[in-house]
Amino acid sequence: MSSEITDLIAALNSDELSLDQVAQKFRERSWPATTPPAPVTQAEWEARLMADPDPHVPGSFDDVAAAFFRGDITLDQYSVLSAAAAASIDAEKKRRDAEATGSE
């Protein structure tokens, strides 16, 4: 299944984009959540224990992890890309927190 992330990794592997260019795109994009909210009630906890593992979310960091485990990117590339994704997620959280408190 193709996503923006898999397309960027393909462009990295074909030398269409450099690692720095892909990392910059990772910093600029919004990353979808891959885990549901934490269970609150006992019934929710029990249901979560019985459920299948969380499914792969296309366009999320799941695509980066899958590329690493397939050998499509190196450990060094994975480290750079994961830091870039983390920076984007942190910046988005700070933006949301600032909007919630009214201080931008």
Domain of residue 30 covers: 4-34+55-101
Whether residue 27 is predicted with pLDDT greater than 90 in this model: the reply is yes
Residues 17, 20: Cα–Cα separation, whole Å: 8
Q: In this structure, is residue 49 part of a structural domain?
A: no
Q: In this structure, is residue 92 part of a structural domain?
A: yes
Q: In this structure, is residue 45 part of a structural domain?
A: no
Give me the number of domains the chain comprises.
Answer: 1
Q: In this structure, is residue 48 part of a structural domain?
A: no
Those residues whose C-beta lies under 8 Å from the C-beta of residue 92, and which sit 6 or more positions away, are 30, 31
Q: In this structure, is residue 41 part of a structural domain?
A: no
Residues 27, 23: Cα–Cα separation, whole Å: 6
DSSP string covering 84-95, please? HHHHHHHHHHHH
Q: In this structure, is residue 42 part of a structural domain?
A: no
Q: Report the predicted TM-score, pTM, of the whole model to 2 decimal places.
A: 0.76
Q: In this structure, is residue 43 part of a structural domain?
A: no
Q: In this structure, is residue 8 part of a structural domain?
A: yes
How far apart, in Å, do the first and last CA atoms of the chain sit?
A: 38
pLDDT one-digit tens code per residue, 32-82: 877 777 778 998 888 877 876 667 888 999 999 999 999 999 999 999 999
